[in-house]
Structure 1
Amino acid sequence: MNRSTAAVANAFFLFVGVAGLIIQIVSGVPGFPDIPPGPFILGITGILVLTLAARFRPILFLGIVAPAFILVGALLEGSFWGRLADVGDFGPFTGTVLLIGGLIGAIACGGVAVSRAYRRTTVG
């Protein structure tokens, strides 16, 4: 089986989210733990989607659950709104835009990937 375009896009957006988190960490955004779990959660999920989803369809659900988990955490924590409002603070702003955009893109593409993987085909 081949990987679907939606699954590849899902993994891409997961990696965009990882890049956003790394940019935030490197630029000194306060509040990150010494070893933040977000990059590992999103990165490993992206790798699993790319490598296993073609053979094991349930992996595609991880491509929705993992970014949704991180997004809910970000919404509950709430400090990303301030980083989005401060365009002049380039690192935190850019990292936050990449993170939130990556999470939303991953959830959307993950939904499409799951929908296509489980679609029933009708015979004419």
Structure 2
Amino acid sequence: MNRSAAAVANAFFLFVGVAGLIIQIASGVPGFPDIPPGPFILGITGILVLTLSARFRWVLFLGIVAPVFILVGALLEGSFRARLADVGDFGPFVGTALLIGGVIAAAVSGVVAVSRAYRRVAAR
């Protein structure tokens, strides 16, 4: 069984979210812990989806849970709105746009990957 295009897209968008977080950290956005968990959560999930989803369909659920977890955290924390509103502060703006866009796209493509993987099984 091969990885689906939706699973590859899910991993790609998880990595986009990681890039966004790294850009935010590098550009000096305040409030990040010394070792921020977000890049590890999204990055490891992306690796797992790419390497294991063809064999273990349940891994695809991680591709939904991880970005939703990060998105809920961003919504609860709330400072991303100000960074998206300030286009002039380029690094934080781009990093935040990549993060939020990446986790939303990852969650959507994760849902598509799960639905396609389990629809194929039900059709057998």
Normalised-by-shorter TM-score class? over 0.9
Q: Aligned partners of 1:97 and 1:82: how far apart in 2?
A: 11
Q: Aligned partners of 1:107 and 1:66: how far apart in 2?
A: 8
| Structure 1 residue aligned with 2:53 | 53
Q: Deviating runs (4+, > 3 A) in structure 1?
A: none
Query: Is 1:121 the equivalent of 2:113?
Result: no
Query: Is 1:112 the equivalent of 2:112?
Result: yes
Q: Aligned partners of 1:112 and 1:70: how far apart in 2?
A: 19
Gaps of 5+ in 2: none
Q: Provide the aligned length of Structure 1 versus Structure 2.
A: 122
| Structure 2 residue aligned with 1:37 | 37
User: In the alignment, residue 35 of structure 1 is paired with which amino acid?
Assistant: I
| Structure 1 residue aligned with 2:5 | 5
| Structure 1 residue aligned with 2:100 | 100
Q: Aligned partners of 2:82 and 2:98: how far apart in 1?
A: 15
Q: In proportion to residue count, which structure has more helix? A: 2
User: In the alignment, residue 83 of structure 1 is paired with which amino acid?
Assistant: R
For normalisation by structure 2, the TM-score amounts to 0.97
CA RMSD, Structure 1 to Structure 2 (Å): 0.6
